[in-house]
Amino acid sequence: MPDGMNVDYDGLIPNNVGLAEDARVKKALETWHPGYIDWWKDMGPEGFQEALVYLRTAVSVDPKGWARFDYVKMPEYKWGILLAPKVENRLIGFGQHKGEPAWQEIPGEYRGMLRRLMVIQGDTEPASVEQQRHLGKTAPSLYDLRNLFQVNVEEGRHLWAMVYLLQKYLGKDGREEAEELLNRRSGNADSPRMLGAFNEATPDWVSFFMFTFFTDRDGKMQLEALAQSGFDPLSRTCRFMLTEEAHHMFVGETGVQRIIERTCEAMKAAGISDPTDVERIRALGVVDLPTLQRKMNLHFSLTLDLFGNEVSTNAANAYNAGMKGRYREDKIEDDHRLLDATYPVLRCIDGQIAQEAVPALSALNMRLRDDYVQDCQGGVNRWNKAIEKAGIQFRLTLPHVAFNRRIGEFSRLHADPEGRVIDAATFAANHDRWLPNADDNLYITGLMKPVDAAGAYAGWIAAPKVGIDNKPGHFEYVKIWN
Amino acid sequence: MLKQHLIDPEICIRCNTCEATCTIGAITHDDNNYVVDSSICNACMDCVAPCPTGAIDNWFQVPAAFSLEEQFSWSELPPRPAEEAAPDALDEQAEALIAAAHAGAGGKARAPASASKPRVNLFNRAAPAMAKVVGNIRVTRAESGSDVHHIILDFGATAFPVLEGQSIGVTPPGAAEMRLYSISSARDGERPNTNNLALTVKRVEGGLASNYLCDLPIGATVPVTGPFGATFLMPDDSDTDLVMICTGTGAAPFRGFTERRRRLAQQGRGRLHLFFGARTPEELPYFGPLQKVPAALLDQHLCFSRVPEKPREYVQHRMLAEGPALAALLRKPSTHIYVCGLRGLEAGVEEALEAIGREHGIDWPGLRGQMREQGRYHVETY
């Protein structure tokens, strides 16, 4: 096995980057560490710092050591610096430096760009922990509680990953940015997190599952693009983070799926075949499918904003510089320079939605967003399969990319979920039909009651098909000790 | 029949982790499903741990492999073939050795309900893990006739995840036959968070493997296969009681169990009960260290059959003497019983439990079958 796969657990900070021999960075991280723990205690999961949680911890970054499960108190979780194994003689795969050896240090001219990319990525990680900190109080089961905490500790570790890169490769600037990452707060008026969707509250578990499905998936796409980076330490970091990110996708997709299964099951048992018979369905204590559709509309459109402007010179520059590639760049067959290529982009032209061929380099955000939409669609198809299997006439659909946008081309117009351009008054008049309304939120809030008996599930969500680490149904995933 | 690796399309979220992990290209996908090519998959298990959903961990015993096209078309797995437990090993020799060792339980063994999922067969004889000997000390007194060694094998940068109760395989140089040895340390290493494990090996006169291991110098490299064993495991639920009955090096897994529980210190209400037989205290492996284990964790019954001027006491004698306590444990649905040691131990233990049952109105043979079905009765003898 190559070096760098083994994790040093003896020091304060578990790592496979030889931190013990890197006094400068070790000191910087150890100085940062108490602030991180304070942040975790202040802003991490509320009320469960002493609970024993059945968590997965990586003991090495090769597949066999990747997932070790055990009971851990969250503040004692082994947050560490884990990079995917180094690929010898790796070459830069795209942009103007294509074919040159991958960088082990940041070239001077790209410091600013890379700093921005890493800070934006890093900022989302603690933000989602902050957004989700109250959810523990209303978990629908110990299984879900455990999954929430696994997501939280891994987001915490992803912050570590970015902080390591900042401190190791960007010196004083990096150390200052690392401090700032602990100072900003999700939703705070004075020092908010950097991206809009990460300042929205995650008030309930339906939102949490939607967030992990839609918004964490943006994280996955960004990580995939950064995993292609010619700056090798960033690439290796993101490759390892992606393995963890898959768990977050899992929590979101199966969370929504289990809600759907429970709703369909309850409807069938009560002899209700009309999915829009909301009053009767809600009387069963389950989430009606039209409400789920509205939740989807909201989280999908908020997340699309995270991809930034459809046509962007920043994205072009980052690609040209070899810093941020396309989704699975290494699987794409073209020249990987894109100097002469074009890419079709939906734009707002004279107040209408129209497709335009744009230089491919400028359209990279759009391309990543298209890949994202396709990835989402796969999950939605599987949800629909569950509805179909239950024999209920209803299909969940992703709204049009122009619907409910604040950033990019479509922030200048209003569109309905099918992508028809409408005026502001029509949008406002239909707002409560298309997006979660006060009634929906009140109803869902009313459902959020904690269930903390091992093996039991709230009435609005089905049990999972298999347990975590193949555990049986009644396994006590979180031991809540008082 | 062949064992085919399949991905459950109902559980899989198509995250691509398995395909990215597989180094030999056995996993592929279309727009519908991720699938395993049975003509390429070598059951290396690399994809299993990173899968976030558990969809990847399906092994069907089938007469002919499902093709890629068939798998692409699925929206759920085909009906599962007649229920079979997780395999102990995917190595024929290792599987046969374990089957023989477990035969004394009187039926198909099952893992405890709350046991962690074991990883098996990560390293085979064609590509063993290379371990380095970092400790090799005798744990029986020099003057005793029984030469038992505590051997610590370090895996360096190689991940070799084990659970207490599992075994590893060692094939001494020049030998055709593999020998299995129970791990006597806890899952997180001889010391917490070390990547090593301990074995308890008794030197057998003329024994190829035992002499090879007992003579290993510090720093030597040993090819190791495994881990093996998917049922003789401890429950993770620390509210359970464990009755551990052994002689000689049969104590190895119980040292692991005890150490595991000791490290979980403050958790759980369960207790361990050890019935450990040897000829003399000098011959009892770990006799010294055992004295330091707190009674609140481990209730110890050390029995000696050759102490001068004392009556011969075997474990079954002590079990009978502890009849009321054992009967109370038998009645508890959270009690797990483990028997490990020489084959001769089985009959004595069986008689003792039957006698205790008769005295306290418990149908032991019936209960034994029930406990075995529930993963609460385990035998490993040789």
Residue type, position B260, single letter: R
Is A448 in the B-facing interface, judged by CB distances under 8 Å? no
Task: Give pLDDT, residue A3.
Answer: 46
Which of B8, B11, B13 best probes binding to A when mutated, by most A CB atoms within 10 angstroms? B13
Going by CATH, does the domain composed of B233-381 fall within 3.30.365.10? no
What proportion of chain B, given as a percentage, has pLDDT over 70? 98
Is the bond into A436 cis (omega within 30 degrees of 0)?
no
Task: Give pLDDT, residue B206.
Answer: 86
Is B13's CB within 8 Å of A52's CB? no
Task: Give pLDDT, residue A482.
Answer: 46
Measure in Å the smallest separation between the Cα of A224 and chain B Cα atoms. Answer: 11
Residue pair B187/B162 in contact by the 8 Å Cβ criterion: yes
Task: Give pLDDT, residue B241.
Answer: 94
Q: Which member of A243, A475, A479 has the closest CB to residue B50?
A: A243
Q: Which member of A52, A249, A475 has the closest CB to residue B13?
A: A249
Domains within chain A, CATH numbers bracketed: 19-479 (1.10.620.20)
The two beta strands, B241-247 and B335-341, are parallel
Which range among A232-246, A426-440, B116-130, B360-374 has the greatest average pLDDT?
A: A426-440
Question: Mean pLDDT, 10 residues at a time, over chain A (482 residues)?
Answer: 55 83 91 93 92 85 76 88 90 96 95 93 94 95 96 95 95 94 93 89 94 94 95 95 91 97 97 96 97 97 94 94 95 94 94 94 95 96 95 97 95 96 97 97 96 94 90 86 56
Task: Give pLDDT, residue A10.
Answer: 63
Residue B225 has pLDDT above 50, yes or no: yes
Neighbours of B83 (CB within 10 A): 5
Give tens-digit pLDDT for A131-167: 999 999 999 999 999 999 999 999 999 999 999 999 9
Is A67's CB within 8 Å of B50's CB? yes
Measure in Å the smallest separation between the Cα of A256 and chain B Cα atoms. Answer: 12
Report the distance separating Cα A373 and Cα A401, nearest Å: 9
Task: Give pLDDT, residue B159.
Answer: 85
Residue B186 has pLDDT above 90, yes or no: yes
Q: Which residues of A touch B264 (CB under 8 A)?
A: 71
Contacts 24+ apart (CB under 8 A), A378-385: A378/B14, A378/B31, A379/A213, A379/A253, A379/B13, A380/A296, A382/A253, A382/A257, A382/B13, A383/A256, A383/A257, A383/A260, A385/B75
Q: Which member of A59, A70, A71 has the closest CB to residue B159?
A: A59
Tokens of A185: 């707060």
Task: Give pLDDT, residue B382.
Answer: 85
User: How many CB pairs lie under 8 A apart between chains A and B?
Assistant: 98
Residue B125 has pLDDT above 90, yes or no: no
ipTM of the complex: 0.83
Burial (CB count within 10 angstroms: exposed 0-12, middle 13-18, buried 19+), residue A307: buried
Report the distance separating Cα A432 and Cα A210, nearest Å: 18
Is B193 in the A-facing interface, judged by CB distances under 8 Å? yes
Report the pLDDT averaged over residues B22-49: 91
Report the pLDDT averaged over residues B283-303: 85
Is A6 in the B-facing interface, judged by CB distances under 8 Å? yes
Task: Give pLDDT, residue B150.
Answer: 93
Domain ranges of chain B: 2-73, 233-381
Task: Give pLDDT, residue B26.
Answer: 95
Task: Give pLDDT, residue A311.
Answer: 93
CATH topology of domain B2-73: Alpha-Beta Plaits (3.30.70)
Is B161's CB within 8 Å of A68's CB? yes
Report the pLDDT averaged over residues B202-228: 92
Nearest chain B residue to A2 by CA distance is B157
Is B145 in the A-facing interface, judged by CB distances under 8 Å? no
Which has the higher per-residue pLDDT, B143 or A316? A316
Q: Which member of B11, B50, B113 has the closest CB to residue A466?
A: B11
Beta bridge partners of B223: B130
Residue type, position A267, single letter: M
For A201-214, the DSSP string reads ---SHHHHHHIIII
Report the pLDDT averaged over residues B205-229: 92
Which of A57, A60, A64 best probes binding to B when mutated, by most B CB atoms within 10 angstroms? A64
Q: Which of residues 54-73 of B touch A (CB under 8 A)?
A: 54-55, 57
Is B116's CB within 8 Å of A62's CB? no
Which pLDDT band, with edges at 50, 70 and 90, does B102 fall under? confident
Is A76 in the B-facing interface, judged by CB distances under 8 Å? no
